Amino acid sequence: MHTRKLGQGLTVSAIGLGCMGMSEFYGARNDEESVRVIHRALDSGVGVTFLDTADAYGMGHNEQLVGRAIRDRRDKVVLATKFGNLRSPEGGWVGVSGKPDYVRQCCDASLQRLGVEVIDLYYQHRVDTEVPIEDTVGAMKRLVEQGKVKFLGMSEAAPATLRRAYKIHPIAALQSEYSLWTRDVERNGVLATCRELGIGFVPYSPLGRGFLTGRFKSQNDLAPDDYRRTHPRFQDENFDRNQRITQALEQMAARKSCTAGQLALAWLLAQGTDIVPIPGTKRIQYLEENAAAADIRLTAEELQRIDAALPAGVAAGARYPEGGMKRVNL
């Protein structure tokens, strides 16, 4: 696996592993299988060493799961986790917090659940617009000074927010949604600001929450409790219209002798050496398939063909339900 650099000094595998779906959102979970996936990721033959989790995933379960999986191989991992999304005891999304005391409490709790002494990359999961970003990042900076965190990150932050945060402490990475069906960051100044400041970019949902792989032919392919059923792009006419995206991808992938998902990841990697996608999976088969995308090289002509077939704005429907969009710092 090739490596890339996020910000000033954080070296990670060119493709990471998003662990969220191992705990909830995407149907039934299987902890034993998830641990096997993480172990396989860390094997030298795969080399995906950049793991992404958050305190909100599974109400803490995901951090505990990841911590269990890396307990005897911590030195092989670049570990990223997040704070800031508030959930009710029942699991509902109830808000965002960037209060300094909350930042400190979350970090200590994450360290305990993960069973580690230091977090390699600590993100603010969503921006709290009620708390000055200077106060939030100031608290995060103190975590670095205390040796609890090595590098700082943000997620779904607007350009102005990034600039203010960076003045308090260098930001190594911004994690935001970016894929062939979500290209907002190319047009709203987010990607340009990251490059101006030297911030690495970590696309989450680089496979369109699995849609871009072509595995979903109808809504019935999703488990009854799969939260993607609540997303506009997976509903009704939007689902049918978005099938044309995967059909186009599959046709181009066939000419490249790869899968649609691999082509989507290769396209992202080709957008710049500062980009490190973190596709999620609960299956070793898909983990290995995703990792292999790092070796696919696209020519200028192939990239032009992909852009022509799948231009920015091609997806039908919003990327989140209304409540999710409200938590995005546009």
What would the pLDDT profile of 184-209 be if each residue is shown by its tens digit?
999 999 999 999 999 999 999 999 99
Give the Cβ contact number of residue 11 at 10 Å: 11
The model's confidence at residue 90, banded by pLDDT at 50, 70 and 90, is: confident
Tally of CA atoms within 13 A in the half-sphere of 85 that contains its CB: 25
Determine what percent of the chain is predicted with pLDDT higher than 70: 100
pTM of this structure: 0.95
Dump pLDDT digits (tens) for 233-277. 999 899 999 999 999 999 999 999 999 999 999 999 999 999 999
Which residues have a catalytic role annotated? 57
The model's confidence at residue 164, banded by pLDDT at 50, 70 and 90, is: very high
pLDDT given for residue 324 in this prediction: 79
Q: Which two tokens stand for residue 204?
A: 């989450």
325 pLDDT above the threshold of 80: no
Q: What is the CATH number of the domain that holds 55?
A: 3.20.20.100
pLDDT given for residue 131 in this prediction: 97
The span from the CA of 189 to the CA of 187, in Å, is: 6
Total number of domains constituting the chain: 1
Is residue 153 a contact partner of residue 166, using CB atoms and an 8 Å limit? no
**Cα angle, residue 157 at apex, residues 129 and 148 outer, rounded to 5°:** 90
The span from the CA of 192 to the CA of 158, in Å, is: 11
pLDDT given for residue 16 in this prediction: 98
Of the candidates 129, 116, 137, 135, the one whose C-alpha atom is nearest the C-alpha of residue 53 is 116
Of the candidates 14, 13, 26, 33, the one whose C-alpha atom is nearest the C-alpha of residue 283 is 33
Domain extent for 61: 3-326
Tally of CA atoms within 13 A in the half-sphere of 111 that contains its CB: 15
The span from the CA of 134 to the CA of 102, in Å, is: 15
Dump pLDDT digits (tens) for 269-315. 999 999 999 999 999 999 999 999 999 999 999 999 999 999 999 99
Q: Which two tokens stand for residue 260?
A: 């649609």
pLDDT given for residue 44 in this prediction: 87
